[in-house]
Amino acid sequence: MPSHRRPLILSSLAHDIHASAARWALQASGIDATWVTSLAESELGPMSLHCDAGNGLRMSGALDHDRVGTVWYRRPRNPENFPRAHSSDAPFLRGEWGRFLKNVYALTDQGADRLWVNRPAAAAMAENKLVQLRAAHRCGLRFPATLVSHDPHEIRRFVQRHGRVVYKPFMTHTWKDAETGRMFSTYARIVEPAMLEDDASLLHCPGIYQVYVDKRCDLRVTAIGDRYFAARLHAQHDGGFVDWRVGQAVQGLRAEPGELSASDQAKLSMLMRELGLVFGCIDLAIDADGEAHFLEVNQAGQFLFVEDLLPSLPLLRAMSAMLAEGRPDYSLATIAPVSYADYCASEEHRAWWAQASEALKDRSPAAAGITLE
């Protein structure tokens, strides 16, 4: 990658540890990366879209082809505050920026030689669980029967038909009890009879209901371009977790190298192509017969905790190499042999920790951006 084309990291929070670690790893190899909250940041300069009969469509400014290489579209945020504007104008400005950036993101197929991790349109589509399962079906992946509904009769019928069923929210939600100060989060859990008694409760909130896979472990597959890194996740006590994130939250999780069959990797590669993704954190449940069941792929998932548990997986180095080269068939040799453990011992991490700790004083862990997906 030409030295004047810098990777661009779009991440909504200044204390995003993944953005911080990747920028550090790139700098360790002499590659400067730009890390901003959104394309509206003054650091990038103004941005324009041009469209005319003679030249068609082109972009200039913040996404100038000669200045910006790979774009890691991690967790960007639209601008919300406008210090020089009258407060009554803020809603209009937020709306106009939001629509402008939607136009920009919708046109990211311009300049096919620029890698987006991931393209905004594909990222948005992949956030839909049923779109993922439809793609998994097309790719021949095994997955548990699933119902998405807020119809009490359909939910009860599904549970009665399949027996042991897991409830999942569309997105994990974390909140703080105003009276006790305790933190609560919505994770996957087994559906119990008492949860199905109140029609009004079920009607109020749509949910994902999925047949429980009697698993012996979870297989976390981090797809970074053409490389697939597998880790087996286990609870430290018998019985396992319905949702391994609960185990991570109580430090009850351990990992070991995982194996992905050639057939399953081929199907997962097909799935990623079907969804238009070059990066994703894939969750598989491994049953007693060793068969893999696809659960979901998080296109903006967190992966550093996996390398923390299993240092033999060079996930930070792989992501940094892909950002540096701007292609999915990157070489690890592009990046110096640095690791997440090296980053954690660095001044960059100390600065990140100070910032994250400050944010946690007044915000929930989820709002501070340092929880899992």
**CA atoms of 275 and 16, how far apart (whole Å):** 25
Give residue for tokens 């009665």: 160
| Residue 131 domain-assigned (yes or no) | no
> What is residue 240's predicted lDDT score, i.e. its pLDDT?
45
Q: Are residues 345 and 286 in the same domain?
A: yes
> What is residue 107's predicted lDDT score, i.e. its pLDDT?
83
> What is residue 26's predicted lDDT score, i.e. its pLDDT?
97
| Residue 133 domain-assigned (yes or no) | no
**Is the Cβ–Cβ distance between 120 and 108 less than 8 Å?**
yes
Q: Are residues 237 and 92 in the same domain?
A: no
| Residue 185 domain-assigned (yes or no) | yes
Give residue for tokens 């999925």: 210
Q: Are residues 153 and 243 in the same domain?
A: no
Q: Are residues 226 and 343 in the same domain?
A: yes
- Among residues 40, 120, 47, 36, which one has the least CA distance to residue 79? 40
Q: Are residues 242 and 195 in the same domain?
A: no
> What is residue 197's predicted lDDT score, i.e. its pLDDT?
86
| Residue 125 domain-assigned (yes or no) | no
> What is residue 251's predicted lDDT score, i.e. its pLDDT?
58
Could you list the residue range(s) of the whole structural domain that residue 69 is in?
Answer: 6-119
> What is residue 368's predicted lDDT score, i.e. its pLDDT?
42
Residues in the chain, total: 373
Strand partners of residue 221: 230, 282
**CA atoms of 159 and 30, how far apart (whole Å):** 56
**CA atoms of 289 and 291, how far apart (whole Å):** 6
Residues of the chain with pLDDT under 50: 1-3, 238-241, 244, 246-250, 364-373
290-349 per-position pLDDT tens digit: 999 999 999 999 999 999 999 999 999 999 999 999 999 999 999 999 999 999 999 999
Phi and psi (nearest 5°) for 23?
A: -60, -40
167-215 per-position pLDDT tens digit: 988 877 787 888 888 877 777 888 888 888 889 989 998 999 999 999 8
Q: Are residues 112 and 178 in the same domain?
A: no
Conformational region of residue 298, where left means phi above 0, alpha means psi within -120 to 50, and beta covers everything else? beta
Final residue belonging to a domain, choices 173, 188, 211: 211
Q: Are residues 223 and 360 in the same domain?
A: yes
> What is residue 253's predicted lDDT score, i.e. its pLDDT?
82
| Residue 129 domain-assigned (yes or no) | no
Indicate which CATH number applies to the domain containing 227. 3.30.470.20
| Residue 126 domain-assigned (yes or no) | no
Q: Are residues 321 and 334 in the same domain?
A: yes
> What is residue 2's predicted lDDT score, i.e. its pLDDT?
42
Final residue belonging to a domain, choices 211, 238, 262: 211
> What is residue 131's predicted lDDT score, i.e. its pLDDT?
95
Nearest 10 degrees: Cα torsion 328, 331, 334, 335: 90
Q: Are residues 221 and 325 in the same domain?
A: yes
Indicate which CATH number applies to the domain containing 178. 3.30.1490
**Max intra-chain CA distance, the chain:** 68
- Angle of the 17-28 helix axis to the 315-325 helix axis, nearest 10: 70
> What is residue 281's predicted lDDT score, i.e. its pLDDT?
97
Q: Are residues 363 and 243 in the same domain?
A: yes
**3-state SS of the chain?**
CCCCCEEEEEECCCCCHHHHHHHHHHHHCCCCCEEECCCCCHHHCCEEEEEECCCEEEEEECCCCCCEEEEEEEECCCCCCCCCCCHHHHHHHHHHHHHHHHHHHHCCCCCCCCCECCCHHHHHHHCCHHHHHHHHHHCCCCCCCEEEECCHHHHHHHHHHHCCEEEECCCCCEEECCCCCCEEECCCEECCHHHHCCHHHHHHCCEEEEECCCEEEEEEEEEECCEEEEEEEEECCCCCCCCHHHHHHCCCEEEEECCCCHHHHHHHHHHHHHHCCCEEEEEEEEECCCCEEEEEEECCCCCHHHHHHCCCCCHHHHHHHHHHHCCCCCCHHHCCCCCHHHHHCCHHHHHHHHHHHHHHCCCCHHHHCCCCC
Q: Are residues 278 and 321 in the same domain?
A: yes
**CA atoms of 373 and 371, how far apart (whole Å):** 7
- 219 exposed, middle or buried (CB, 10 Å; 0-12, 13-18, 19+)? buried
Final residue belonging to a domain, choices 211, 233, 253: 211
| Residue 127 domain-assigned (yes or no) | no
Q: Are residues 232 and 359 in the same domain?
A: yes
How many domains does the chain fold into?
3
| Residue 255 domain-assigned (yes or no) | yes
